[in-house]
Structure 1
Amino acid sequence: MSTYVSKEIRAELDAARITTLKRSSRLRVEVGDNSFKILTLWKDGFTVEAETTPRLRGLVDIFDGANHMYQCLIIADEEAVGEMRYEFKRNTVAADKAPLDFYRPPDAPIALLGYED
């Protein structure tokens, strides 16, 4: 029994695999005004479709749906099987509020309400 697969069939299988990954992923990377689907994301990087995504470089934002997850500095790693792999040089978790520069006690009031005389 032979395990040889022709180039055409291998290309079709790779295209089907990438299409499945694109459908199942909610993640996207944004560079300026452009947005591209992330196929896989792991601790040290992510992959995007090589054919439809230009070479990315520098500071990017990663979103899960509408939630801003990370702001990252990336470098291109390698292209393989229709996917372009990028690695993080810096990966910072995005926050919805500015960090405090002082200690806030857990039982501190949220706001002070004034009263009229």
Structure 2
Amino acid sequence: MEAFFSKEIQAGLDQARVTSLKKASRLRVTVGNDVYPVLRLWKSGFSMEADAPSLRGLVDLYDGSLHLMQCLIITNYAQEGERRYEFKRATVVAEGPAVDFEVEETAPKALIEDARGAIADR
């Protein structure tokens, strides 16, 4: 069964849904010095509030203070009280510098000094 609501009631329902998504999400997008809250994130894009600016180009996506990825946004459109953005490219931020050699799984992770002052591989 489908329910049909008036435009005012549908707008109120959409606003309530957006408000609950804002409270639950720590995601944000930065463009230069501007920061915008993100409501939802999926494999090929993300959404913000309907009154969010019409962004295009390169943006950085954060979860709190953790830099998740750098994204190239190519399309945006408004739907169901949200503005949706699609990625052309989303590059995950690496935790460390790139290496140009193979790291063996059995390689020592650190050197630990014991009580005698001797160094042991761990």
Output the TM-score relative to the length of structure 1. Answer: 0.83
What residue in structure 2 maps to residue 102 of structure 1?
Answer: 101
Separation in 2 of the partners of 1:82 and 1:27? Answer: 18
Residue 66 (str. 1) matches residue 65 (str. 2): yes
Q: 5 Å matches for 1:23-62?
A: 23-51=23-51, 53-62=52-61
Instruction: Write out per-residue CA displacement over residues 43-82 of structure 1, whole angstroms, 9 at most, x where no aligned residue.
Output: 011111121x211110111111111111111122321122
RMSD, aligned α-carbons: 1.9
Identical residues among aligned pairs (%)? 50
Q: Report the alpha carbon displacement of residue 109 of structure 1 after superposing the two structures with TM.
A: 6.5
Separation in 1 of the partners of 2:10 and 2:87? Answer: 30
Instruction: Write out per-residue CA displacement over residues 18-53 of structure 1, whole angstroms, 9 at most, x where no aligned residue.
Output: 1011110111111111111111110011111121x2
| Aligned residues between the structures | 109
- Mapped contact 2:62–2:69 kept (Cα < 8 A): yes
Output the TM-score relative to the length of structure 2. Answer: 0.80
- Mapped contact 2:48–2:83 kept (Cα < 8 A): yes
